[in-house]
Chains A and B, each alone.
Chain A
Amino acid sequence: MASDPEDAELIVSSLSGDEDAFVELVRRHETAVGAYLARRVGRELAEDLLGEVWVAAFTSRANYDRSFPGARPWLFGVAHNAIRRHWRSRPAEQPVADVTPMASRWDPWAAVDSRIDAAPVLRHALAQLRPEQRELLTLVAWEDLTIADAGRVLGMPPGTARRSLHEARMALRHEPGVAALLTDQNMMRKAN
């Protein structure tokens, strides 16, 4: 039985004129890329940007490194660039977006644990990090990427990505608000 073609094969087919192959690639990853965008810019803008991401990916597919069979990190990279372009193109009088847009009105965390509102504390702590550290952390924690793949999204060698992630984790762990959260949560866990 023939197995499904790898992402890289679909990209190669699309370069040979098979447009359906690229649409198949998009179908495979649209939920993940959509969620990636929504976590960073909110649902509404994510819906606006998604088409732009596919067009940009299609336009630049000739540059895809075919030694990577899976294209999801590459697509995250394209989405990452689309978000950066979006923020860059905002007029100067508007505040440059940081992680604030992640604070969607739809926030299930509060329902999970109403006693401790961890989300604002974590968002504040994330905002203190350098952008690439923040992106690495969230790629690993939210998008379930390996450190190497997260580095690939950002064009970072695996060793650099590991080091940067470690630094980011330490910075996050020792941020006062997060440190307090960790203490509380671990104490509650112990008590239970």
Chain B
Amino acid sequence: MIDEMDLLSGIKAAEPLRRGAFEDARTVLRAAMDVETAPRTRNALRRRAHWGTRRTAAFGIVAAGAAAAAVAVVVASSPGPAAPTVPASQQAAASSPLLVLAARITASGGSLPGNASLIIRTQTASGIAPDVSYNLYTDDGAFYVGGDKKSLAQAVAKGQNLADGITGAEVKAALYAARGALSAARVQIVDASPNALGLGLPKAEREKIWAKAMAKVRKIYLEKGIKKLPPLPTGKALRALADNYVWNNSVDALSAGAGNPRVRAGVLRLLSTISGVRIAHSAVGGQAVLTLTAGPEVFGGQGEQVLTVNARTGMPVKSVQPADGKVRGSVDTFRVLRVTLADAEAGKL
């Protein structure tokens, strides 16, 4: 007598996984194990190339101070400070799809052709004609921009290197993050751009940096009728400000180094440390993607930004910034190619 369980058993067959898939999955596991056991101490025109408008956090009065201070104060990423321990919440995130994808990218390894990454960005915004830019980032840190192959070739030929040092520092931090301790990597990526947070430094030193920054912006505050300067951010406020830097600088690093799998892996690992980033699986144009939505908590309570990356390679697909108040909404789509500087100069892209 056949019963319902027999019928069910009859349809149990499934297409078997490829043999290599088991090995891939074990490699991902090994990479995650490495992360867990890694020693903690292991080791303006430019804006055109960035994806969408950089959103500096607007955390009330504290943010105003920090943002203003960011313009004036450069805190170099000194190698000295002991990195804070990775909070439990970050360690628990080890199963995050971002960490898994990062591990997969790292594990896939492979050699890197060419000596530069070409990012062809198309930006569309309401009421404005689509803007296409050819952004060429060489592996040794130079940066050239053109509106097409021809003008890019001219920029390279004329040596119009627009690198300002910040992008290089961001990419370097992402490279470190691919294998290094996340807490130290966060400090590096935040310090890749000017800020007065003094992450990872002793409190006394942080207070000094903050006071110096506040002294420089005191006049602006007074003009705005604000007499009380913001205090040194600590706790949640500090975390939120740091998250804002991590998001902006990581996305910049991806914009410059997406041709390098280690940069992509590092950026994904850095973004996995931001609790205000939501991850979703989706599909765009037939390719499986992950959408990373940085919510308002990453931007001081207002606005959001959505970054879409290929779910298998981490390669950027698009970046969406919804309209928000005075900020015009925009959609950037990307093509990332590995090329040689010589070919770019010769217009052979």
Q: Residues of A at under 8 Å CB distance from B? A: 17, 19, 22-23, 26-27, 30-31, 34-35, 38-39, 42-43, 46-48, 50-56, 58-60, 86, 89-91, 94, 102, 104-109, 112, 118-119, 122-123, 137-138, 140-142, 169, 172-173, 178, 181-182, 185-186, 189
A58 touches B33 (CB 8 A): yes
Whether A86 contacts B281 in the complex (CB less than 8 A), given A55-B29, A186-B1, comes out as: yes
In the complex, A22→B280 CA distance in Å?
29
Q: Report A-chain residues with C-beta under 8 Å of the C-beta of B3.
A: 169, 173, 182
Check if B100 is an interface residue, CB within 8 A of chain A.
yes
Whether A42 contacts B12 in the complex (CB less than 8 A), given A50-B22, A118-B7, comes out as: no
Check if B44 is an interface residue, CB within 8 A of chain A.
no
Interface of chain B residues 22 through 53 with chain A (CB within 8 A): 22, 24-30, 32-33, 36-37
Q: Report B-chain residues with C-beta under 8 Å of the C-beta of A47.
A: 17-18, 21, 24-25
Partner of A26, one of B8, B21, B26: B26
A181 touches B33 (CB 8 A): no
Q: A interface, by DSSP: helix, strand, loop or mixed?
A: helix
B11 touches A109 (CB 8 A): yes
Whether A43 contacts B10 in the complex (CB less than 8 A), given A23-B26, A30-B22, A91-B282, comes out as: no
Q: Report A-chain residues with C-beta under 8 Å of the C-beta of B312.
A: 48
Interface of chain B residues 320 through 342 with chain A (CB within 8 A): none
Whether A178 contacts B7 in the complex (CB less than 8 A), given A30-B22, A55-B99, comes out as: yes
Partner of A109, one of B10, B16, B280: B10
Q: Report B-chain residues with C-beta under 8 Å of the C-beta of A169.
A: 3-5
Check if B2 is an interface residue, CB within 8 A of chain A.
yes
Whether A55 contacts B37 in the complex (CB less than 8 A), given A35-B14, A42-B15, A109-B10, comes out as: no
Q: Report A-chain residues with C-beta under 8 Å of the C-beta of B16.
A: 34-35, 38, 43
Interface size class of B (residues with CB under 8 A): 35 or more
Q: Report B-chain residues with C-beta under 8 Å of the C-beta of A50.
A: 17, 21-22, 24-25
Q: Residues of B at under 8 Å CB distance from A? A: 1-5, 7-18, 21-22, 24-30, 32-33, 36-37, 92, 94-95, 97, 99-100, 103-104, 279-282, 288, 291, 311-312
B17 touches A46 (CB 8 A): yes
Residue of A27, A31, A52, A137 with most partner-chain B CB within 10 A: A52
Partner of A19, one of B37, B280, B288: B37
Nearest A residue (CB) for B17: A34
Nearest B residue (CB) for A186: B2
Q: Report B-chain residues with C-beta under 8 Å of the C-beta of A59.
A: 32, 36, 92, 94-95
B100 touches A51 (CB 8 A): yes
B28 touches A138 (CB 8 A): no
B11 touches A118 (CB 8 A): yes
A54 touches B26 (CB 8 A): yes
Q: Report B-chain residues with C-beta under 8 Å of the C-beta of A34.
A: 16-17, 21-22
B14 touches A51 (CB 8 A): no
Q: Report B-chain residues with C-beta under 8 Å of the C-beta of A38.
A: 14-17
Q: Report B-chain residues with C-beta under 8 Å of the C-beta of A182.
A: 2-4, 7
In the complex, A147→B279 CA distance in Å?
35
Nearest A residue (CB) for B15: A106
Nearest A residue (CB) for B35: A55
